[in-house]
Structure formats: C-alpha cells, structure tokens
Amino acid sequence: MKRVVIVGMGFGGLEAARALAGKGLDVLVLDRQNYHLFQPLLYQVATATLEAPSIAYPIRSIIRNWPGVRFQMTEVKGVDLDARQVITEEESIPYDYLILAVGSVTNFFGMESVKQSSYDLKRLADATALRNHILTMYERAAQEDDPEKRKALMTFVVVGGGPTGVEFSGALAELARWVLVKDYPELHNERPRIILLEAMDRILAPFSEDLQRYALHRLKKIGVEVRLNTALAGAEPDKVYLKDGTVIPAYTLFWAAGVRAHPLAEALPVPKAKAGRIPVQQDLTIAGYPEVYVIGDLAYFEQDGAPLPMLAPVAMQMGRYAGQAIVKRERGERMRPFRYSDRGTMAVIGRNAAIAEVFGRRFSGFVAWLIWLALHLAMLVGFRNRLLTLINWGYDYLLFERQIRLITRQERERQIEASLEQARSA
C-alpha cells in the first residue's frame, strides 16, 4: 500500500485528507498541533467575542471515520526530496506521495523592532495573548493617574488595511464602544483611540472601489481612525514610529500587514518566488519532483497572469485537487490542470456591516453581513463549534455583551509583560 504524507492540517491539508480517505492508500497526516484551527476567526477570540475552543477542533476527531487516514503530532524539520523522506523531531518518515500544506507565517519585512513590540494572529495562543493584553491595558489605564500615559495605554495601532486589519479594527472598536465602556466607569472621560495604518491609498485592495469606500465610511463611523498612505518605520514597547516622522505613544501594536511562506520552504532545494513561496506546475507539483504537491499559502501558482492569493478558499480547492490527483494517478488516469474557481471575497466591518463580492455580484451592509455569517458558520468544523459560535454571536448581537472577557495570562506571558515594563522604565 502506497503512503501519502500530508504535512499540515490547515484548510488545504484537511481537504486533501478528506479526498484521499477510503481510497486504498495509507494517508499519514503530520501537524505540530493536535487540532485544526479556523484562522479567519482568530481576531474574534482576540476581541472577546468567541472562546478559543470554538474555532479549533481535534484532528483525531475529524479523521476518526476516514478510512486509511492516520494522524501523528510532530514537528517537521525538513524534507529530503531525493530520498523521499519527511524529517521530523523523532524520525524520518518515507513517502510515495507528499503534500506540503504548512501555510504561512507573519512577514515583518525585516523590521525586528516591530516583531519584538507587536502582536500578530497566526496561532490560537496569539489570539488569547492579544485578548489578555487588550484587557490588561484597560485595567492599567483604570489605575493610571498620568493622563498622557493613560491615553497611550488606551491607544491601539493596527497596521495593515487588508481583511484581517479591517476586521480586527472593527471588532475592537465595537468591544470598546459597547462593552468595555460599561466595565470601566473610571475611564468614562477617556475615549479609546484605534488607529488603522495602511501604506497604500486605499483599504481592502482586492475589492471594488465602491465597497472600499463603504468599508472606510463604516470604520470611521464606529470610531476607527484610518490613515492611508502611512507606513510604519519602527516600534518600541510604548511607541510607534511612522516613516513621516510621527511618533504615536501606544502600548498596543497589532501587525496585519503581510505574510510569507512557512520557514520549511527555505530548507527545500527548489526555486522560490515572492514571499518565499514555492512555484508549482499546473498540477501543483514541484518541477522535477512529480510526487510532491505544494498547496495553500506555500504554493506560488499564477492564473490569468497573476498569482493566486494566500486565502483559505484557494488552499481548500488546492487540497481537494491534490488528493483527487493522487487517486487518479494510482488508477492510471490523467488529471486536468488545476484552475481556481473564485466564488467570492468578503470582509466584515462590524455589526450589520460587511462587504462581499460573490459570484460576480457585490453586496454591502446587512445582506453582506448575513452572507458572511452563514459562510463562516458553514466552514467551521464540527456541530458543537458551529453551535457555540452561533450562541456567542447571538448573545453579542442581542445584548451588546461579550462574555469572554477573561485575563488568563500564563507564566510565560507574565515574564514577557515584566520585561516590557522594564524596557519602558529604562
């Protein structure tokens, strides 16, 4: 029985494993975590809307009824393409086919000061840490007598006007406007400041101009200060430096301005494209290695003269294609070249406000918001997760309340906070 090794159980890896289940192959899934994470909703964990477990689902539970699919929790260190082996922390695992679906990591574009002083959202722990930090800033501001420092504690700078930056800014603005204002009567005279920085002359660049204008208007309406044509130069734990020389006193910096391929790609002896992604052929394999498929954010695939974006729908279609391609190859059948079918893009700005371009049609406002809700609920794995998410969304919508306002810092976070405080005092 031939073995297929899938590295990474994100959106692409999940679809690949699903397509290979019960097809007479030994499918081994490798991931450093034992759960599948729904990354598009990480910002809602960070802004106290959802509980962390509601956007994660155990991998072993997912594959329990998938014949021939096994899971191993391990850290993949590299791949020996010539020997056809995946190198993990414990052993080298041979394969007949390999699907690389390890995704992406945050790209700070070499700005080490920003990396050290900012938060990002790629892992479940990142969302919890950011939520802890936001609530801690409010707690500290409530006890601070110095008005300038209190203002800095309640200033939140978001870098990146893409969907993640826009959605996080909107959710944070609503958290402050509807919930935290009731929790902190000591701060009723202190208005939180949420600043969204975008280096381009517009936000949400993939969308049409009318939807961009709508999103910009909605953000401003709920209190987000949007600065276009504004680039970041650097940061300290209590300051943000802009390229035009402006200094913003702020203790919170959230980075949503770019991603790059997972570091695993760097170790592979193959050409690299922009952001470290691996160029793939029309069947998603690496040139010279027809048994190796690269999918999702890791893959650089041009269609109609432009590279496909690093989005979940792209990864899902690639994963499904890779799984089906392997099955057909084993049957001696030919597979058509991969082609991504763009069913639409959407982003939510806040309560009753979203934008969507689906199947060639544009929507904004309440209708787009309903489409966004329905799609994200459908994409979540597991009935329990869908139910918990729906309950939390309903509770928030009807009562203007968010229940997940818990500061649950671990010892490591306390050490980081202490070191930042020491740096500020120096």
**Residue 152 neighbours by CB distance under 10 Å:** 22
Of 15, 144, 167, 357, catalytic: 167
Co-location of 246 and 360 in the same domain: yes
Report the CATH number at residue 297: 3.50.50.60
Same domain, 86 and 156: no
Separation of alpha carbons 175 and 170, rounded Å: 9
pLDDT tens-place string over residues 267-310: 899 999 999 999 999 999 999 999 999 999 999 999 999 999 99
Q: Is residue 244 part of a domain?
A: yes
pLDDT band at 111 (very low <50, low <70, confident <90, very high): very high
Rounded distance, CA 278 to CA 213, Å? 35
How far from 144 is each of 8, 22, 37, 154, 184, CA to CA, in Å? Answer: 45, 61, 37, 11, 13
Q: Is 411 a catalytic residue?
A: no
**Measured between alpha carbons, how far is residue 26 from residues 71, 79, 330 in Å?**
11, 19, 13
State whether 241 and 387 are in the same domain: yes
Do residues 91 and 217 both lie within one domain?
A: no
Where in the sequence is the domain holding 315, given as residue range(s)? 3-32+74-106+259-330
User: Do 81 and 227 have their domain in common?
Assistant: no
- Among 285, 304, 330, identify where a domain stops: 330
Quote the CA–CA distance of 232 and 198 in Å, as a whole number: 9
- Locate 134 and state its tokens: 């936001």
Cα gap 68→321, rounded to integer Å:
18
Same domain, 386 and 406: yes
Mean of pLDDT values over 97-111: 95
- In terms of domains, do 268 and 363 share one? no
297 and 283 part of one domain = yes
Q: Which amino acid is at 202?
A: R
Count of domains for the chain? 2
- How do residues 302-343 score in pLDDT, each as one tens digit? 999 999 999 999 999 999 999 999 999 999 998 999 999 998
